[in-house]
Structure 1
Amino acid sequence: MDVKQFCSLQIFELVYLLVLAFLPFVVAVREVTIAILTVLAIGTAVVVIRYLLLRRVDPEGRVVFISGCDSGFGNACARRLDLHGYTVIAGCLNAGSEGAALLQASTTGRMHVVSLDVTDEDSVFQCMAKVKEFCQNKGLWAIINNAGIASFGDIEFTSMEKYRQVLEVNLLGSIQLTKLCLPYVRKAKGRVINMSGASGLLSAPGQSAFCISCFAVEAFSDALRIEMQPFGVKVITIRPGNYLGATGILNKSACGKVKTEFDQLKNSTDQEVLNAYGTKHLDTQLEQLSDLSKSTASSLVNVVTAMENAVTNLSSGSQYLVDGGSQLFDVSNILIKLRPFVPASWHDSLVSKNFRQGTTVQAVQ
């Protein structure tokens, strides 16, 4: 049992004991009981009223275009929207993948799987021909920019080529697809949905390439949201928390690729840098990433529900921060919420302890 699990267990036991201790008092004192029941009644009423006032989009004839549907959030969201009655254009990097086959197995007639490499201009324009075929009359209700890749390793270990690759997919790919789709989205007064992440609000050591791309997506979304207001187009940002291990970024099969990437880092990094950080630095980081993959949320449901709400709710919010992780709370999201209220040095220390446990860097003499 690690420290987080131990703390979660202790908190649960403390709450349980407090409930047992104060329950007789609550039952015995009539005023306290009435107050608690009143609060519960008001809370229930608020939930019911929100549900009754919830206005759903009529899916009939509405088209949703999603990139990165080979696996993870994109694949799950495409299947859910298909079942809800939306026409879905699902872009897959590999149209022959298991995820693409799962989408093609839909019998509704509303699911359309297309090949899409957001870094290949020919692939993008071929895909857009399919989008135009469905959207030229009614427009495009929503585009979900979900395609993304991650890279791990400290800044001195990460090559410029890797930075360019991550930005090409996560940022420039989203920008290009959005620009091509905007005429159809404006026609439908629809919405642009960008998948960012907690990494778009919290930059973690050893993940700079991925975090930089997410921060850039946040900036892109903020600018576009204001520019699209006169057209009645919504721009929505969804920030999944600790879900890397439940997606193709850091799941069991991806961890093998990460190990290969770290082996390449060892071979390609200057010896002076390796000596400065210590011979075990990369090995320790790899172990931490393996631990992270095990501590992430086991299900994609909460994020896919946020994506669904962004598409189907007429009064959807503009930003969603979705807690993840297998622990009692999502540490990264807690750090994001704490940031405005604590000194930068304290926050840096908390981030370092959370992401760099056990890492020892040799001081330069």
Structure 2
Amino acid sequence: MSERQKVALVTGASSGIGYATAIEFAKRGYKVFAGARRLEPMQKLKDDYGIYIFKLDVSDLDSVKEARKLIESETGGDYLDFLYNNAGQSCTFPATDVTDEQMKQCFEVNVFGGIRTTRELIPLIINAKGVVGFTGSVSGIIPFPFSCIYSSSKAAIHQYAATLRLEMKPFGVKVINIVTGGVKTNIEDKRDLPETSLYNVPGITEAFNARRQMAARNHPMPAEVYARKVVSDFENAKLGGALNYYRGRMSTFLGHVLNFVPRFIVEYALVRKFQLAGIFAYLKQKYSKDKIH
């Protein structure tokens, strides 16, 4: 009896990390399903690599349920060897400016989407003794300015992955979290600060742009290189191993720096890095005299 072809699902596969990882899985001989909210950007995945593309909105329970039915129908079985929860959304705003809609949307995709997709597909993964993976981020560890919501969403998924890893031990399912540093993608948040922002002071445009373009300005790792490492991490996870894998530029350093450098020094470095010293001084002086209305 011939060995069945192994099956992988990548969410958020319309660009960047998800797109490149779907290709890498396909190159290694897996049957790949690539899901995203838009089909058009994924057409080349189908045409050039034979990847099955389909609409998937991880924030929609019905859409996720349909994904399971699709995999079962197209594979003729009830197995899923690799689930890569990669769908994500940026949210670069100060804590004082982010709206309810923006914070809910970020958590719906970055946190609840991965949780929902995992829950609905876990029977297939258990049957395969497979691997569940998540795109984490150094932002879930380092307090980068203007990313309270995004950073907290990634910190949440880090802890979810850690706990899921423990809960899945009786079923032979492995769980990995890819703590991601700088990778060349188009996830940059292009929205501007609202006019009413407390941070709309001299110098903020340069500082805010430096933060939004942090990855692009710091020699990010090509998505294809990242994808090769991540697919190998999935394959190696079947043999046992770590929870966290540090991939992308500066990921290992940033993922551990708070273990050996005092927090106040890290905060000082971040203020310098993102050109915030003058802005913070201006705000401190201004609001030592003025009331906020």
The gaps in structure 2 that reach 5 residues or longer are: none
Contact 1:141 / 1:190 at 8 angstroms: preserved in 2? yes
Q: Secondary structure at the match of 1:151?
A: coil
Contact 1:306 / 1:320 at 8 angstroms: preserved in 2? no
Match of 1:77 among 21, 24, 27: 21
Q: Secondary structure at the match of 1:91?
A: strand
Q: State how far apart, in whole Å, the 2-side matches of 1:84 and 1:348 are.
A: 42
Per-residue Cα deviation, 1:96-126 (whole angstroms, up to 9, x for no partner): 22xx111111355xx2111011112332222
2:243 maps to 1:318 = yes
Alpha-carbon offset, residue 288 of structure 1: 4.4
Paired residue for 1:352? 271
Q: Is the alpha carbon distance of 1:208 and 1:358 closer, same or farther for their aligned partners in structure 2, counting shifts above 3 Å?
A: same
After the TM superposition, which residues 155-166 of structure 1 pair with which residues of structure 2 at under 5 Å, given as runs?
A: 155-166=95-106
Amino acid at match of 1:319: N
Q: State how far apart, in whole Å, the 1-side matches of 2:131 and 2:276 are.
A: 41
2:192 maps to 1:249 = no
Contact 2:26 / 2:49 at 8 angstroms: preserved in 1? no
Alpha-carbon offset, residue 292 of structure 1: 4.5
Report which of the two structures shows the higher radius of gyration computed on alpha carbons.
Answer: 1
Per-residue Cα deviation, 1:167-215 (whole angstroms, up to 9, x for no partner): 0000000000000010110111111011111112222111111111100
Q: Is the alpha carbon distance of 1:136 and 1:221 closer, same or farther for their aligned partners in structure 2, counting shifts above 3 Å?
A: farther
* Two-structure CA RMSD over aligned residues (Å): 2.3
Q: State how far apart, in whole Å, the 2-side matches of 1:342 and 1:321 are.
A: 19
Q: TM-score w.r.t. structure 1 length?
A: 0.71
Q: State how far apart, in whole Å, the 1-side matches of 2:103 and 2:278 are.
A: 23
The alignment of Structure 1 onto Structure 2 pairs a total of residues equal to: 281
Contact 1:303 / 1:322 at 8 angstroms: preserved in 2? yes
Q: State how far apart, in whole Å, the 1-side matches of 2:212 and 2:113 are.
A: 26
Q: Is the alpha carbon distance of 1:335 and 1:311 closer, same or farther for their aligned partners in structure 2, counting shifts above 3 Å?
A: closer
Q: Secondary structure at the match of 2:272?
A: helix
Amino acid at match of 1:81: F
Per-residue Cα deviation, 1:84-107 (whole angstroms, up to 9, x for no partner): 11011110210122xx11111135
More helix by share: 1
Paired residue for 1:45? none
After the TM superposition, which residues 16-165 of structure 1 pair with which residues of structure 2 at under 5 Å, given as runs?
A: 60-97=4-41, 100-106=42-48, 108=50, 111-134=51-74, 137=77, 139-165=79-105
Q: State how far apart, in whole Å, the 2-side matches of 1:105 and 1:224 are.
A: 35
Q: Is the alpha carbon distance of 1:60 and 1:318 closer, same or farther for their aligned partners in structure 2, counting shifts above 3 Å?
A: farther
Q: Is the alpha carbon distance of 1:190 and 1:290 closer, same or farther for their aligned partners in structure 2, counting shifts above 3 Å?
A: closer
Contact 1:66 / 1:144 at 8 angstroms: preserved in 2? yes
Q: TM-score w.r.t. structure 2 length?
A: 0.87
Alpha-carbon offset, residue 283 of structure 1: 4.8
Q: Secondary structure at the match of 1:238?
A: strand
Contact 2:271 / 2:277 at 8 angstroms: preserved in 1? no
